[in-house]
Structure 1
Amino acid sequence: MASYRELLKQREALQRQIDAAREQEVAAALAKVREIINEYSLTPEQVFAQSKGKGGPKRGAKPAKYHDPTSGATWSGMGREPLWIKGQPREQFLIDR
């Protein structure tokens, strides 16, 4: 088994190899990227635009549409029905706007 000092020297040599390989691969990747950007006349805004993801930007909470006069609880009408409104006509719980 190698000694501690020998292993440290091996690690340093390996790190130098890793750094050199990374530099070469990064340079090649940048060359490809530049080639594609030039080929399609892309702008920085097009290349680095943030994608909106699924459904676009997040929206805030919906305003309350229904109100329970007994407990004061409210419900926006989205999602699962609360127990205080379940099975009853919703019109009686509507919040006047």
Structure 2
Amino acid sequence: MATLQELMAQRAALDQQIAETKDRERSDALAKVRTLMSEYGLTVADLAAPRRGPVKGQSKVAAKYRNQATGETWSGRGLQPKWLKAALAGGAKLEDFSV
């Protein structure tokens, strides 16, 4: 069985190998990226994620109901918001909130 000092020496050697391998692989990756960028005429700005609009097939639905007190709206789709549920439970009618 190895002694603590031997194991610590092995650990230090492994840490050194890990650091060297990481540096070498990072350099290789950067070289590949630079080659691809020059091959395709790309710039750093091209690497930024493009801004996209709404997903195709999805559109923003117009609000059908509005809370006059807070300005919150609901399209009529999905679950009713808490403010509308509370108002309906308090005796208000859905038509009272129509836009």
Matches within 5 A, 1:34-53: 34-47=34-47, 49-52=48-51
Aligned to 2:30: 30
Aligned to 1:88: 93
* Alpha-carbon distance, 1:31 to partner: 1.1
| Residue 7 to residue 54, structure 1, CA distance change in 2 (3 Å) | farther
Gaps of 5+ in 2: 56-62
* Alpha-carbon distance, 1:93 to partner: 2.8
| Residue 2 to residue 52, structure 1, CA distance change in 2 (3 Å) | farther
Deviations 1:45-92 (A, max 9, x none): 112x13558958xxxxx9x8224xxxx6764114522323489342x2
Higher helix share: 2
**Partner secondary structure for residue 74 of structure 2:** coil
Aligned to 1:77: 74
Aligned length, in residue pairs: 83
TM-score by length of 1: 0.63
TM-score by length of 2: 0.62
Question: Matched residues in 2 for 1:73 and 1:6: separation?
Answer: 70
RMSD of equivalent CA atoms: 3.4
